[in-house]
Structure 1
Amino acid sequence: MTSQEALEIVERILPPGTLTSVKTLVFHHSWNGREYRAIAKEAGYDDCYIREAGAELWRSLSEVLQEPVKKKNFRALLKQKFSNQIMM
């Protein structure tokens, strides 16, 4: 599963309007193992802003999936729950 495939799943399961461009940026970079500080520096944002966007994203996913989602486990959870739903 690529980050784009995972993002398409997340877009389907989250309520419309939940994903902002910053949350999408955080999602893609987090999927690839980047730290918040590196994401912020590369994208020209403040560390705290990126960290908060990530926290909001993980909270939204936690509500929808009904289990704790963190930056450290979101990739494994999505693969486990949705690997058979990847749209080709």
Structure 2
Amino acid sequence: MRKYLLLTFALTYSIHTSYNIEVLPVPPEESREELYHDLFITLLLPYIDKGVEDYYSELLTDSPIDYPYMVKVVSAERNYGYRSFRFSAI
């Protein structure tokens, strides 16, 4: 009985510790930050669409649709340092 209890505890502990869910901060509705995020995504969307179309062109006959709310920016950096206006986004 003790072995089963110990095994159950070990499995439960390993399952709970193996999931590392990243929670992204969500800006308040109708805030300036949300507005800038939406503007940034809207400006990037043609480039994202082109990249997705190029990636799936050999596999699909129609290009998949990308929705702005499905876009996640992993990284954005200035290419030439502080206050430069060339950016790299992933």
Structure 1 length as normaliser, TM-score? 0.25
Name the one with the larger helix percent.
1
Name the one with the larger strand percent.
2
Mark the structure with the bigger radius of gyration: 2
